[in-house]
Amino acid sequence: MNPAPITARIGLLACEVCRLVSRAPSTGDVAHCPRCGAALHTRKPASLVRTWAFLIAAMILYVPANVLPIMDTSSLFGTQNDTILSGIAFLWTSGSYVLAMVVFFASVLVPLLKMIALAILAGSVQMGSVRYRRTRTRLYRLIEFAGRWSMLDIYVVTILVALVQVSTLASIHAGPGAAAFGAVVVLTMFSATSFDPRLIWDTQEEAS
């Protein structure tokens, strides 16, 4: 079976912003979309390099995000440092099982699964795999969908803070884990945005 034509092969470029398909310039100059003015590329420049760079940085920061205190509580009775995991344990032991599971899912499980999925996508493209192309494409769409809800993590932290019994003689400050946690969310979003899913099908084209 003949491989399906791709836009680059027939001299066309698709805009990543407005999706308009236009003809590539013959002079080799940088092309811009005639409708929205965005720069046009056959594939996202240095897609795999940037995907891995953001992903590795997110993986490194994922450890302090879960180990370091995400908030420091000070009162007349002393100072208490809470991590995400200790907050989940507190919610579970206090009987808030549903909220504990929501926090665990949004703050621990989703970022971890997102990083694993991105590593699978980038690694499979880098190794030139032609297996499970449709499944990998669906996986990327799922990551994109989950990315829209990444800020849910921040809301979860806000709920955690609100659950603490605060009086006028107590204060709560964000701990170093909060910065690492926010960085993980942003870096995984950048990593997903940097990945070009068309690379999955490019390997299929080359193998045909």
Task: Give the Cβ contact number of residue 48 at 10 Å.
Answer: 18
CB-based contacts of 6, cutoff 8 Å, min separation 6: 198, 201, 202, 205
Tens digit of pLDDT for each residue in 132-151? 889 999 999 888 887 666 65
Whole-angstrom Cα distance, residue 133 to residue 123? 13
What is the domain partition of the chain in residue ranges? 1-42, 47-204
Both tokens of residue 81?
Answer: 């440092």
Give the torsion sign (CA, 88, 91, 97, 99).
Answer: negative
Counting DSSP H helices and E strands in the chain, the numbers are 8, 7
Question: CA-CA distances (angstroms) from residue 70 to 84, 119, 144, 190, 208?
Answer: 6, 26, 26, 23, 51
Tens digit of pLDDT for each residue in 71-123? 776 666 677 777 888 878 887 888 888 878 887 888 888 889 999 999 999 99
pTM value is: 0.76
Tens digit of pLDDT for each residue in 38-50? 777 777 888 899 9
C-alpha closest to that of 151 among 110, 116, 121: 110
